[in-house]
Amino acid sequence: MRVGIFGGTFDPVHYGHLRAVEEVREAYSLDRVYFVPAYIPPHKQTKKITDYDFRLKMLKAAIRNNRYLRLSDMEIRRKGVSYTIDTIKAFERRFGEIYFIVGLDAFLEIDTWHRYTELFSHTNFIIMERPVKAGVNEGVRGKDIFPREVRGEITEYDRESFQHKSGKRIYIYRVTPLDISSTLIRTCIKSGKSIRYLVPSPVERIIGEKMLYLNGAI
Ligand code: ATP
Ligand code: MG
């Protein structure tokens, strides 16, 4: 079984996430993709994020009618700060060969992740290109996307993939660029603008019912 893992804060989940995963699932013939919401994201500890239960509820509603998509609440069950390395190792124990799906924007910060160098020996990566942000991922190409510490362990495999010395592969995949982010959704809500067609309608309904994102920082 080919299993994809898609981690994130999902505050809230939106069509950018869903469409990107749909395209990756199809392109790499994944049998299943697990959405894994971060319980306590290490990078967002100073930021106020929505209660885990609400983020989970929205995800559940968003993926309900897609038989390939699953939800994992592993990170709340593990308790404490949510580190990707722990999640990856748990999935690897269960499924063996796994594919960690991540946007290029997030991957470019991987050197700030806990014990990130270990990740490359435990999972394959599928890196999704997101719309280019001036000055951030502009002109980042080839092995430049890897932090210096691991660059020596990685070779170019073919036009769209790399190989780590462990044998694990890193694929780069261009998904249809949809410039939607959770930040955009939160900003719209705070300024009283519609989020229709940016998130699935059941998600929009939950946000309305629970009055999420009306107050607080973006
Ligand atoms: P925020 O604006 O709060 O950072 P986000 O929209 O980036 O939220 P996250 O939960 O931070 O969502 O992201 C989870 C994963 O989804 C990351 O790997 C991110 O790169 C990817 N991702 C988010 N939005 C898109 C999109 N529109 N297209 C492709 N990948 C996306
Ligand atoms: Mg993000």
Predicted confidence (pLDDT) at residue 162 exceeds the cutoff of 80: yes
Whether the link from the prior residue into 131 is cis, omega within 30° of 0, is no
For residue 76, give the 3-state DSSP assignment. Answer: helix
Q: By the 8 A CB rule, do 49 and 76 touch?
A: no
pLDDT for the residue numbered 132: 65
CB 170 less than 6 A from any atom of ligand 1: no
* Helices 201-209 and 52-63, packing angle to 10 deg: 150
Residue 214: what pLDDT?
Answer: 95
Domain 3-179: which CATH class?
alpha beta
Question: How confident is the model over 100-113, as pLDDT tens digits?
Answer: 999 999 999 999 99
Residue having the nearest C-alpha atom to atom 17 of ligand 1: 103
Q: What are the sequence ranges of the domains in the chain?
A: 3-179
pTM of the predicted structure, to 2 decimals: 0.95
Q: Say what the pLDDT of residue 46 is.
A: 75
Predicted confidence (pLDDT) at residue 211 exceeds the cutoff of 90:
yes
In the numeric block, the tokens 């994992």 are attached to: 72
Amino acid at 20: A
**Ligand nearest 174 Cα, by number?**
1
Q: Which amino acid is at 82?
A: S
Whether the predicted pLDDT of 114 surpasses 70? yes
